[in-house]
Amino acid sequence: MRRRVVVTGIGWVTPLGADLGTVWNRLTEGRSGTRRLSLFDSSGYPVRIAAEVHDWSVAEIGENPRQWEQYPRQSGFALGAGVLAAAHAGLTDGSFHPLRAGVYLGCGEPFEDFHQFTNAICRSDADAVATPIRSDAADRSDGASAGTAAAASDRGSALRLFDPDAERQYDPNLPAIHLAGRLNLQGPNLNCIAACVSSAQAIGQSAAIIQRDEAD
């Protein structure tokens, strides 16, 4: 007989809010979370509306907002939803065995660090000069080829813009790690990247893990 699996807690951080009852009521009322963009100046774009998350901070789940400023916003949303789901399920320290509890995250797509990347490109381009190089001396590590290549006169200034820890946070596995650390979940820890179907796959695979008795 297959082991029965049920959903015992729900948590979400959405453009319609983060409170379970409020969001559900807005969904059943047909309310839209789409509004004029406010996170950045969209005046130069043909589209100026989006479904943004407003009026929510990681401070609401006891995290330090300043520490999370260098992390992708999506990571904070994932942590918030996970913490809220655990609270809704009544999971507290001591109510489960850490090795029998884990995280299966459905991350739709990898995070992209355009801000630091474009800043570094602009810094390098501002310092670039045309430098002839021999074919046998081509720097294969950064894509340079034989002939003339654009070499940054102060490439180090561009590299210094990168924060190693911040860059690591753009790994799509990191939100699952943050959640596991916060809730002391030492069991299976996985992430799937499958675009819009990611969340459905995460739920299905989580259920399969429980049915195989690899976690509770």
Instruction: Render each residue's pLDDT in the chain as its tens digit; 216 residues.
Output: 788 999 999 999 999 999 999 999 999 999 999 999 998 899 999 999 999 999 899 999 999 999 888 788 889 999 999 999 999 999 988 899 999 999 999 987 666 666 677 777 776 665 544 444 343 433 434 444 433 334 444 566 666 767 777 777 778 888 999 999 999 999 999 999 888 899 999 999 999 999 999 999
Predicted confidence at residue 17, as pLDDT, reads 96
CATH class, domain 20-112+172-211, is alpha beta
Predicted confidence at residue 69, as pLDDT, reads 85
Predicted confidence at residue 122, as pLDDT, reads 73
Domain ranges of the chain: 20-112+172-211, 116-159
Are 179 and 185 spatial neighbours (Cβ–Cβ below 8 Å)?
Answer: yes
Predicted confidence at residue 111, as pLDDT, reads 66
Are 9 and 214 spatial neighbours (Cβ–Cβ below 8 Å)?
Answer: no
